[in-house]
Amino acid sequence: MKVGLIRCLQTEDMCPATTCFKVMNLKKLAFEGVEEDIEVIGVNTCGGCPGKKAVTRAAEMVKRGADTIVLASCITKGNPIGFACPHAEQMKAAIEKKIGESINLIDYTH
Ligand code: SF4
């Protein structure tokens, strides 16, 4: 699995994505049952509210080899402060539309 990870810009200064990388390394939670090696090909943010740049950034990561786009839990679950992105569903839908069905989209990490 070649992962392109997208995270919330607003969360950068309170979280260095430690748990996102940990669950990928340990194949836990969103990565439970993944049998192949997990390689992170890139990490980027949504670009800031309202998150439009996440769409082109996801597409760029696909161009650079990602077969799976992962939205970090800061976006969809609001980790670590319980404040989810108000644009998460729209962002997810726009990314899905842009990258197509051949690319897997995982909407959380932990
Ligand atoms: S759009 Fe959502 S994910 Fe992006 S910075 Fe704003 S709150 Fe965070």
- Report how far apart the first and last C-alpha atoms of the chain are (Å, whole number): 17
Got the DSSP string for 42-73?
A: EEEE--STT-THHHHHHHHHHHTT-SEEEE-H
pLDDT recorded at residue 48: 98
DSSP 14: G
**pLDDT digits 0-9 by tens, 24-79:** 999 999 999 999 999 999 999 999 999 999 999 999 999 999 999 999 999 999 99
- Positive/negative CA dihedral, 48, 64, 31, 94: positive
Mutate to test the pocket of ligand 1, among 5, 7, 10 (most ligand atoms within 8 A of CB): 10
Would you kindly state where each structural domain of the chain is located, as residue ranges?
A: 2-106
Pick the CATH number of 2-106 from 2.40.50, 3.20.20, 3.40.50, 3.30.1050: 3.40.50
Nearest CA to ligand 1 atom 7: 85
